[in-house]
Amino acid sequence: MNQPNHTDENPRNPGTELDLDWALAVQANTSAIERRCKALPGRRSIKKANQAAWLLKAITCIDLTTLSGDDTENRVRRLCRKALFPVRTDLLEALNMEPGSITTGAICVYHEMVPAAVSALEGTDIPVAAVSTGFPAGLSPYSLRLAEIGESVEAGAKEIDIVISRRHVLSQDWQALYDEMKAFREACGDAHVKAILATGELGTLRNVARASLICMMAGADFIKTSTGKESVNATLPVSLTMIRQIRDYYERTGFRIGYKPAGGISKAKDSLTYLALMKEELGNRWLQPDLFRFGASSLLGDIERQLEHFVTGHYSAAHRHAMG
């Protein structure tokens, strides 16, 4: 299994005019969505060599993340090293993989840590993503949120994870959400923008669906579930709701939007369920890291444990798979 080829043409989403007729027609059948998601883990059971291959695929789609108040430049550099070599050499060799043939999809950090991450990843293809716009609450002054985007881009971030103003969704002010997202997209310039919806704070799946669509209309390159700081983060029902809006947007416009579930995804088996959901709903093209990412910090360690179990037949202690 080789590192995915990102050369498949995927034109960047330019956005559309705000179409409230389209957005307000969107509904979400919560009970049907929950039934579909409840059945998925048991119906899609992947074993042995196939499981190992899918877990390696999952690694390539991880935004390896550290968003702690006690982050240091040295911690970020160690995390970048882990992004470059996410699986121990002996395990890769046992899986007939070349060391260095697998990397994570990106590194995700606060703005202050962007220079350290950019320096550590210089000469590689791994992008640095910066959380921005008053992360995680998104309640800092608007001018400062725009300025923060610009500073992170200037520091070398290739991706910007912005947080929307939840109040726009809760008050159904779709014009305000569209205008805000469009301004954030413009401030990002060539850097790709991931719109964090903070779905656990939006109240209903219908709100999640409509917010997803509005952000795509305004030019989002990715839509993302959560900051990881909410009481409820990524869930399968939220994911199904969002990726069906991605499918609808693609069918109507021809532009592919990426998806990033984030927060609470820490087990290897969960990553397999999310990959299966993406494959069933959107197809193989959305299994590439330019269109699918996990926002995670501890997921990689559990994937490594499962790979070691496949190779040796034994589960290892977590300290054998350190993040740096």
pLDDT greater than 80 at residue 255: yes
pLDDT greater than 70 at residue 81: yes
Of the pLDDT bands very low, low, confident and very high (cuts 50, 70, 90), residue 320 is confident
Write out the residue range of the structural domain in which residue 256 sits: 20-321
pLDDT greater than 80 at residue 130: yes
pLDDT greater than 80 at residue 323: no
pLDDT at 4: 41
Q: Look up the CATH number of the domain holding residue 222.
A: 3.20.20.70
In a domain, 211, yes or no: yes
pLDDT greater than 60 at residue 244: yes
pLDDT at 281: 96
Between 319 and 103, where is the model more confident?
103
In a domain, 106, yes or no: yes
In a domain, 112, yes or no: yes
The whole-number average pLDDT for the span 1-30 is 82
**57: Cα separation from own chain's centroid:** 14
pLDDT digits (tens, 9 = 90+) for 280-312: 999 999 999 999 999 998 999 999 999 999 999
In a domain, 65, yes or no: yes
Which residues participate in catalysis according to the annotation?
Answer: 161, 224, 260
pLDDT greater than 90 at residue 314: no
pLDDT digits (tens, 9 = 90+) for 23-50: 999 999 999 999 999 988 877 678 889 9
Contact 44, 275 (CB under 8 A): no
- Which token pair is 290? 């330019």
Q: Rounded to an integer, what distance in angstroms lies between the CA atom of residue 238 and that of residue 37? A: 10
Between 291 and 320, where is the model more confident?
291
Residue 29 φ then ψ, to 5°: -85, 95
In a domain, 264, yes or no: yes
pLDDT at 41: 81
Of the pLDDT bands very low, low, confident and very high (cuts 50, 70, 90), residue 6 is very low
In a domain, 5, yes or no: no
pLDDT at 7: 44
Beta bridge partners of 206: none
Q: 212 in helix, strand or coil?
A: helix
- Listed in sequence order, the DSSP H helices in the chain are 20-24, 30-43, 48-60, 73-84, 89-94, 114-120, 142-154, 166-170, 174-188, 205-217, 236-253, 268-282, 299-312
The whole-number average pLDDT for the span 236-263 is 98
In a domain, 4, yes or no: no
The whole-number average pLDDT for the span 250-272 is 96
- Which token pair is 125? 């293809």
Q: Rounded to an integer, what distance in angstroms lies between the CA atom of residue 255 and that of residue 285? A: 12
pLDDT greater than 80 at residue 124: yes
Least confident of 10-19, 43-52, 178-187, 200-209: 43-52
pLDDT digits (tens, 9 = 90+) for 200-243: 999 999 999 999 999 999 999 999 999 999 999 999 999 999 99
Of the pLDDT bands very low, low, confident and very high (cuts 50, 70, 90), residue 52 is very high
Those residues whose C-beta lies under 8 Å from the C-beta of residue 135, and which sit 6 or more positions away, are: 67, 110, 161, 162, 163, 196, 227
- Which token pair is 241? 């709701």
In a domain, 220, yes or no: yes
Domain count, the chain: 1
pLDDT at 324: 62
Contact 116, 73 (CB under 8 A): yes
